[in-house]
């Protein structure tokens, strides 16, 4: 039964990626009136091809980080097309159209779901699933964090652009950086012998430091600016950033065996 669910999840992964790629490509195609933009769907093909190859060669399971990297690169390019440029598409979104702001938000929110499908259906190994589960939830939470920041830009366009263009560009830049950094978390997981999955201590320390300083501290600063200067209600995700920063510092102290904390290499 478990193996059957794994295969169903794998099929759903391919279907959801195709659905998201088509939906994202539909925005420049419809709002720029150029069907050639549907070719952007091809950006996701390398990730799907590599995932299919790993299905055939399960010994290459550690390459899942490369699948996610290829997916994220394609995803960020589409985000740049929709939110970037001199005339961003997100400023032209029409609520009366099917491909409006609400569908765009739902499409962006598919990324955490895609990540969970990718990692949870990697193999039916119990040791792998136990280790990857908490990691996948952590990455998914960071993805939702970035999507929520994009939602701020979308809602601002609906509210007659109360936020300056330079501030929106700063939000977009750091969101894209946070997405591109997400594959680093998968490199922490390594196979040490047959079916013996562990965390790479040095990689964990480097990634956690980068995540705390380059992502959550930056997002915290941006949200505080939105809250104090523009009156945007960001209290929930401000609390999330504070919690993640605190947990990140605890992880670093545990790994370095300082401040009375000790890292468990078997975790």
Please give the pLDDT value at position 164: 80
Distance CA 151, CA 138 (A): 20
Strand partners, 199: 189
**pLDDT value of position 193:** 45
- Specify the pLDDT at position 163: 79
Which residue stretches of the chain have pLDDT < 50? 192-194, 263-267
d(CA 239, CA 51): 35
pTM: 0.85
| Residue 231 pLDDT | 74
Dist. CA 226–CA 152, nearest whole Å:
9
Kindly state the tokens that stand for 148.
């929520």
DSSP code string of 202-246: HHHHHHHHHHIIIIIHHHHHHHHHHHHHH----HHHHHHHHHHHH
Query: Quick one: CA dihedral 36, 83, 174, 208, positive or negative?
Result: negative
Burial of 132 (0-12, 13-18, 19+ CB in 10 A): buried
Is residue 172 helix, strand or coil? helix
Reported as a single tens digit per residue, the pLDDT across 215-258 is 888 888 888 888 888 777 777 778 888 888 888 787 777 767 66
């Amino acid at each position: 039964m478990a193996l059957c669910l794994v295969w169903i999840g794998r099929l759903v992964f391919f279907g959801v990626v195709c659905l998201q790629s088509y939906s994202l490509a539909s925005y420049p195609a419809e709002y720029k009136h150029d069907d050639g933009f549907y070719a952007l769907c091809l950006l996701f093909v390398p990730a799907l091809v590599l995932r299919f190859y790993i299905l055939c060669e399960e010994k290459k399971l550690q390459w899942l980080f490369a699948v996610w990297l290829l997916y994220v690169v394609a995803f960020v390019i589409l985000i740049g097309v929709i939110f970037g440029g001199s005339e961003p598409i997100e400023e032209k979104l029409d609520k009366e159209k099917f491909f409006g702001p609400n569908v765009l938000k739902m499409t962006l929110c598919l990324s955490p779901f895609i990540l969970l499908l990718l990692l949870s259906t990697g193999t039916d190994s119990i040791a792998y699933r136990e280790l990857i589960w908490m990691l996948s939830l952590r990455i998914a939470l960071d993805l939702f964090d970035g999507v929520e920041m994009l939602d701020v830009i979308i809602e601002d366009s609906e509210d007659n652009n109360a936020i300056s263009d330079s501030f929106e560009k700063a939000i977009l830049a750091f969101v894209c950086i946070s997405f591109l950094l997400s594959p680093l978390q998968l490199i922490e997981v390594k196979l040490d012998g047959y079916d013996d999955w562990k965390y790479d201590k040095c990689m964990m320390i480097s990634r956690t430091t980068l995540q705390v300083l380059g992502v959550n501290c930056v997002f915290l600063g941006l949200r505080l600016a939105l809250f104090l200067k523009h009156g945007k209600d960001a209290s929930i995700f401000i609390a999330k950033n504070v919690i993640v920063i605190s947990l990140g510092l605890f992880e670093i102290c545990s790994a370095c065996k300082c401040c009375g904390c000790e890292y468990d290499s078997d975790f």
